[in-house]
């Protein structure tokens, strides 16, 4: 179904061109946002599992700096497994790519009246742009590395071609919108796992240790898109170097 991706992008671009006149422009003067005056904040992370995991330090830091704020997340079915027991979130919504169901979800979110929306998707995304506009109309919108859509966000950590920072460091930049110095925040935060899940992980590691292995390294072979998958020869060379 990968051939449908270009069609999806073209469709979204057409919708954007039709509706961009109705989009609210950002107000840079609203920044920094006074977190002590916020009650509810919505984070948008409707993408893959790994993207959700690298965002945990943001949620952890935000809750530590503003414990009175109730935060909610708009995720996707692909990331639900890692947040289903996460008590950092008051509410969890799912973006299903189903127009009727997603409109219902947007109505539910609007009824909850969030004080701010944080778009966690780095760089331009038509999907997250419209979600940021529709979920909390008139409220501050925080974005990351937007280029074409910079004008629609009140805060946007600028995109630079020479950015060599780790993706977690770059994602933490959304905290700057709230007067938090992201460079001083930890890039590590654990997921909320059940006792059964932790037990399974421990048993798996113990089983591996019963072999002749002395060290265990996890290597993720997957990628979000086929054109981001390493050539087999590179993977073999990496594993050989690790060994």
Euclidean distance between CA atoms 59 and 43, whole angstroms: 9
Residue 11, φ and ψ in degrees, nearest 5: -65, -45
**pLDDT (0 to 100) of residue 13:** 76
- Within-domain flag for 159: yes
Are residues 217 and 108 part of one domain? no
Which domain covers residue 46, as residue numbers? 8-184
Are residues 210 and 110 part of one domain? no
- What length is written for the chain? 243
The number of folded domains in the chain is 2
Q: Which residues pair with 141 in a beta bridge?
A: 117
CATH code of the domain containing 171 = 3.40.50.2000
Are residues 206 and 122 part of one domain? no
- Are 79 and 48 a contacting pair, CB within 8 Å? yes
Closest CA to 112 of 139, 82, 83, 81: 139
Beta strand ranges found along the chain (DSSP E): 40-44, 70-75, 89-94, 116-122, 141-144, 155-157
Of 184, 207, 232, the one marking the end of a domain is 184
Of 160, 184, 208, the one marking the end of a domain is 184
Are residues 228 and 133 part of one domain? no
- Within-domain flag for 28: yes
Euclidean distance between CA atoms 110 and 56, whole angstroms: 24
Euclidean distance between CA atoms 100 and 175, whole angstroms: 33
| % of the chain beyond a pLDDT of 90 | 74
Say what angle helices 126-134 and 99-112 make with each other, to 10 degrees: 40
Positions in the chain whose pLDDT score sits under 70:
1-5, 213, 224-225
Are residues 45 and 136 part of one domain? yes
**pLDDT (0 to 100) of residue 78:** 93
What is the pTM assigned to this prediction?
0.87
**pLDDT (0 to 100) of residue 192:** 95
Are residues 215 and 155 part of one domain? no
- Within-domain flag for 71: yes
Are residues 128 and 206 part of one domain? no
**pLDDT (0 to 100) of residue 5:** 67
- Are 63 and 40 a contacting pair, CB within 8 Å? no
Is there a cis peptide before residue 32, judged by omega within 30 degrees of 0? yes
Task: Quote the tokens at residue 135.
Answer: 């979920």
Are residues 173 and 212 part of one domain? no
Q: What's the chain's Rg over C-alpha atoms?
A: 20
């Amino acid at each position: 179904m990968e051939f449908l991706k270009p069609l999806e992008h073209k469709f979204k671009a057409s919708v954007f061109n039709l509706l961009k006149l109705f989009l609210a422009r950002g107000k840079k003067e609203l920044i920094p946002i006074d977190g002590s005056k916020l009650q509810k904040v919505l984070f948008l992370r409707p993408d893959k599992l790994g993207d959700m995991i690298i965002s945990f330090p943001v949620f952890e830091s935000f809750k530590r700096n503003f414990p009175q704020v109730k935060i909610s997340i708009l995720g996707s079915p692909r990331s639900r497994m890692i947040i289903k027991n996460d008590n950092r979130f008051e509410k969890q919504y799912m973006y299903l790519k189903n127009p009727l169901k997603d409109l219902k979800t947007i109505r539910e979110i609007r009824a909850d009246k969030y004080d701010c929306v944080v778009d966690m998707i780095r760089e331009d995304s038509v999907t997250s742009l419209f979600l940021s506009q529709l979920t909390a109309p008139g409220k501050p919108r925080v974005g990351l590395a937007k280029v074409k859509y910079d004008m629609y966000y009140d805060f946007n950590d600028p995109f630079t071609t020479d950015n060599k920072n780790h993706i977690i460091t770059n994602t933490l930049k959304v905290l700057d919108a709230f007067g938090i110095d992201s460079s001083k925040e930890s890039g590590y935060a654990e997921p909320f796992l059940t006792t059964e899940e932790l037990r399974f992980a421990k048993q798996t590691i113990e089983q591996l240790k019963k072999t002749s292995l002395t060290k265990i390294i996890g290597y993720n072979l997957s990628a979000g898109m086929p054109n981001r998958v390493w050539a087999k020869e590179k993977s073999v060379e990496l594993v050989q170097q690790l060994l």
